[in-house]
Amino acid sequence: MNLVDYLRISLIDRCNFQCQYCMPEGAEIDYILQQNLLTLDELLTLLREVFIPVGFTRFRLTGGEPLLRPGVVELVKQINAFPETKDVAMTTNGFLLAGMAEDLYQAGLRRINISLDSLDPDIFDQIIGNRGRSRWQQVWAGIQAAYQVGFNPLKLNVVVIPGVNDHEVLDLAKLTIERQWHVRFIEFMPIGNNDLFADRGWISSEELRQQIREQWGLETSQVTGNGPADVFQIPGAKGTLGFISQMSECFCDRCNRMRFSADGWLRPCLLNETGQIDLKTPLRQGATFEELREQVSNLLGIKPDINFKQRDSGTTGNYARTMSQIGG
């Protein structure tokens, strides 16, 4: 059975963007009030007393937008201080990163994923649901700051949306030739956005690879990631190209992660709501750490049966939470 040792931790379900694929326009998002979020002390307690003892050693901080959470730099430092911690990473939209990259690096963060769905400021603003001043330049500044500070690998996540940014695939892939950046193309997912999904569909990773192959050639990279990406390289390029193909190519058999939401729910599979458990309520009601560890261990035991495998064309039914609330 695959070792599940990677916990994605959502620090906040709010975001300063409203990306189409994450928080669809018009979606009724009931933001969690601050008092309903786990406090950072509670989160650190659960990490120390529950998650690490059952085998989690790799952690990724997500959101919403994790840089909106007060105390995030200190949290990185504290998680890094656990002797069992092997890796701390973050996924961010980069908007607040320029002013925080140095502090995060000093706190021990080394790996960062930044969402960059377009190199065209107008398309970028369309995707993120911007209503005013363009935000592309500030995100680009955050990427540059992270690069200069020394984040390695620095990964750029691109969700490919047909008819919106799919014509930029080659331009985005080209970023890896001269820089040690890692561009990851992610197939669009039907999480809380069924209407948009039905309208647009998705483009398979193999189609994207073929475009790149015809332009420059493409070879399997010697660099492998911690997760589900299949990694390739343009011959001679300094960086790599990753393809996350959750719609066209099931990778449940190598899934090594669970997701922990900002309000304390542990979810074993991104695409399946079965089996998720609330840890915040019993923690606040005085449950013992042994009881909580037992709950998490039981969930780890049934995870292989929960993993979602019917991905031929979409999903059945509606998801109760959008991607921003899950901490995708």
CA-to-CA distance for 253 and 264, rounded, in angstroms?
26
CA-to-CA distance for 324 and 206, rounded, in angstroms?
27
110 assigned ligand-binding residue = no
115 assigned ligand-binding residue = yes
6 assigned ligand-binding residue = no
CA-to-CA distance for 279 and 287, rounded, in angstroms?
9
316 assigned ligand-binding residue = no
**∠ at Cα 32 (135, 261), nearest 5°?**
85
255 assigned ligand-binding residue = yes
Question: Taking a C-beta distance cutoff of 8 angstroms, is the pair 275, 285 a contact?
Answer: no
DSSP letters, 17-71, are ---TTTS-TT----PPPGGGSPPHHHHHHHIIIIITTTT--EEEEESS-GGGSTT
269 assigned ligand-binding residue = yes
Give the SS3 label for residue 106. Answer: helix
15 assigned ligand-binding residue = yes
Question: Taking a C-beta distance cutoff of 8 angstroms, is the pair 87, 153 a contact?
Answer: no
CA-to-CA distance for 151 and 122, rounded, in angstroms?
28
250 assigned ligand-binding residue = no
91 assigned ligand-binding residue = yes
CA-to-CA distance for 60 and 305, rounded, in angstroms?
24
23 assigned ligand-binding residue = no
22 assigned ligand-binding residue = yes
Question: Taking a C-beta distance cutoff of 8 angstroms, is the pair 246, 253 a contact?
Answer: no
Pairing mode, if any, of strands 265-267 and 277-278?
A: antiparallel
- Residue 102: closest CA among 46, 147, 169: 147
Question: Taking a C-beta distance cutoff of 8 angstroms, is the pair 276, 326 a contact?
Answer: no
Across the chain, how many H-helices and E-strands are there? 11, 12
Going by the annotation, the residues of the binding site are: 8, 15, 19, 21-22, 60, 64, 91, 115, 155, 189, 252, 255, 257-259, 269
Going by the annotation, the residues of the binding site for [4Fe-4S] cluster are: 15, 19, 22, 252, 255, 269
Going by the annotation, the residues of the binding site for S-adenosyl-L-methionine are: 21, 64, 115, 189
Going by the annotation, the residues of the binding site for GTP are: 8, 60, 91, 155, 257-259
